C-alpha cells in the first residue's frame, strides 16, 4: 500500500484564494487560516482601506502574498473585475470563499420589502455572482474549491429572521446544485453553516434574552463560538483532503442542530 499523504493533504502552499467579506470577522479568520497553510490571499470587501490594512497584517504574519480588492459583491461588473484581478496577480484561482453577508432582524410586519431585498441581494445574489465569476477559470483548469458561508439558520428556523433564514437556506441549495454542476470539472463546492459566532453582526444581541435562550442557549456547548473555531473546517474544504466532498453542508454550531 502506498504511503498516505497525511497532513500534507492540508498544505495550501502555492494555492491562491479569494475571500469575500475578508477584512473582518469570519472572513478574516478564514483568510488567516488559509494563509497559515501557505495560500496566497485576495481579500475582497467594500472598504478599501480596511482591506488593505488586513492584507498587510496577514502578509507580515504568515509571509504569503496577501492583497486586497475593493468590490461590491452584488455587482456583476465588479465581481468579474475581482476574478480578473486575482488571475492577474496569481495566475490562477484555486479557492473562493463567499463570506460577505448581512443580516437585518425584525418581525415580518416591521420589515420593509427593501430590507428583505437587500439581505437577499447580498447573501444570495452576491454569492451567486462570485461563483459565476470564478467558474469559467476553475472549469478550464479542471480544479478548484468553492466554499459558501451559509448558516445554521439556513437549516433551522428562528423568529424575526425571515430575510436572513431565507437567504441562507437559498445558499444551502445553491451550494448543492452548483456542486453537481461543477463536479465533472473536479471543482468541489461545499458550504459551512456557522452557528453563533460573536462577530460584529451578533454583538448587538450578545447579551439579549433572545440570544441567551434561543441562540447560545440552543447549543450543546452553551457558549458563543470563537473565531478560531471556523478555521479548521475552512482549511479542510480548501485543501486536497476534501477532494471527495461534493455538496457537503458542514455545521460548526456547538451542537445547535444536533438536538
* Residues labelled as active-site residues: 164
Longest dimension (CA), the chain: 63
Cα separation of the two ends of the chain: 41
Rounded distance, CA 153 to CA 171, Å? Answer: 11
Non-local CB neighbours of 42 within 8 Å, separated by 6+ positions: 16, 17, 18, 19, 22, 66, 67, 68, 69, 82, 85, 86, 89, 90
Residue 251's H or E segment, with its range, is strand 249-252
Rounded distance, CA 72 to CA 43, Å? Answer: 12
Rounded distance, CA 10 to CA 12, Å? Answer: 6
25-36 and 48-62 are packed helices; what angle lies between their axes, rounded to 10 degrees? 30
Residue with cell 437567504: 167
Amino acid at each position: 500500500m502506498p504511503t498516505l499523504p497525511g497532513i500534507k493533504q492540508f498544505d495550501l502552499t502555492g494555492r491562491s484564494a479569494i475571500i469575500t467579506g475578508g477584512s473582518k470577522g469570519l472572513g478574516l479568520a478564514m483568510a488567516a487560516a488559509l494563509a497559515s497553510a501557505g495560500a496566497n490571499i485576495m481579500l475582497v470587501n467594500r472598504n478599501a482601506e480596511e482591506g488593505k490594512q488586513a492584507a498587510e497584517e496577514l502578509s507580515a504574519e504568515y509571509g504569503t502574498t496577501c492583497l486586497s480588492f475593493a468590490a461590491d459583491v452584488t455587482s456583476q461588473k465588479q465581481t468579474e473585475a475581482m476574478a480578473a484581478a486575482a488571475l492577474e496577480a496569481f495566475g490562477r484561482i484555486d479557492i473562493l470563499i463567499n463570506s460577505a453577508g448581512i443580516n437585518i432582524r425584525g418581525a415580518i410586519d416591521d420589515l420593509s420589502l427593501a430590507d428583505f431585498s437587500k439581505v437577499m441581494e447580498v447573501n444570495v445574489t452576491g454569492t451567486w455572482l462570485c461563483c459565476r465569476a470564478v467558474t469559467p477559470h476553475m472549469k478550464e483548469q479542471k480544479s478548484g474549491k468553492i466554499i459558501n458561508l451559509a448558516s445554521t439558520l439556513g437549516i433551522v428556523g428562528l423568529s424575526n429572521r425571515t430575510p436572513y433564514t431565507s437567504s441562507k437556506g437559498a445558499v444551502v441549495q445553491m451550494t448543492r446544485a452548483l456542486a453537481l454542476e461543477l463536479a465533472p470539472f473536479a471543482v468541489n463546492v461545499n458550504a459551512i453553516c456557522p452557528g453563533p459566532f460573536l462577530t460584529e453582526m451578533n454583538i448587538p444581541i450578545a447579551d439579549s434574552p433572545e440570544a441567551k435562550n434561543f441562540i447560545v442557549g440552543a447549543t450543546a456547548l452553551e457558549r458563543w463560538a470563537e473565531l478560531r473555531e471556523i478555521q479548521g473546517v475552512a482549511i479542510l474544504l480548501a485543501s486536497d483532503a476534501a477532494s471527495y466532498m461534493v455538496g457537503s453542508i458542514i455545521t460548526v454550531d456547538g451542537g445547535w442542530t444536533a438536538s
